[in-house]
Structure 1
Amino acid sequence: MAEHLTEEDVRNIATYARIGLDEQELAQMTVDLNSIIDTLEPITQYELDGVEPTFHPIGGLSNVMREDVVEESFSQEKALENAPKQQDGSFLIPAILGGGDQ
């Protein structure tokens, strides 16, 4: 059987994680975490001596990003041709922080 957490253990975890719990929440969190531990109990019954840890379920992956190659891009006029509003060669969007009149 797995070792269960005490309320003191949960209080220490909450303090470390900077989570404020009152006494009722602390009691409920202790029950919930111990329930999770009980749910995971069957995993501890497997014989895992000599099994190498798996860091990714699909081994041998490598970065599949292409090389960063400079290519021809849109002109400013082409990028702005479908913009509903523009001003001085830029997109004109509504102000979201106030102080604007658009």
Structure 2
Amino acid sequence: MTQYVTEKDVRDMAAYARVGLDERELVQMTEDLNSIIDTLQPIRQFNLEGVEPTFHPIGSLSNVMREDEEQPSFTQDEALANAPKQQDGSFLIPAILGGGDA
């Protein structure tokens, strides 16, 4: 198998991504990455001269956004109507970090 990335390359990538690799993992990751790259090599056989790069497989698909306009919504009383507990116009929920008795 051809070596596309070296152990130094993998060590540098791991350091950049802040991933700790011991020596055994470094060797395995180097082998895995080289195997993956080797698997993708047949793609290089395609003649892509003159093919325009695309950013989405569906062509001119675009994100359609509506204007951000204020619209009628629930009143505070309607929003709190089914709340099991409320206090001072807000939902009252159990404390998750301790120190509260809600």
TM-score tier (shorter):
0.7 to 0.9
Structure 1, gaps ≥5 residues long? none
Deviations, residues 46-85 of structure 1 (Å, cap 9, x unaligned): 1111111111112222332221222111111111111111
Post-superposition, which runs of at least 4 consecutive aligned residues in structure 1 deviate over 3 A?
none
**TM-aligned CA distance change 1:52 to 1:2, over 3 Å:** farther
TM-superposed deviation, 1:22: 1.5
Aligned pairs for 1:1-102 (under 5 A) are 4-102=4-102
TM-align CA RMSD: 1.8
In 1, the alpha carbon distance for the partners of 2:62 and 2:88 equals 44
In 2, the alpha carbon distance for the partners of 1:63 and 1:7 equals 42
Percent identity of equivalent pairs: 74
> What TM-score comes out, normalization by structure 1 length?
0.87
> What TM-score comes out, normalization by structure 2 length?
0.87
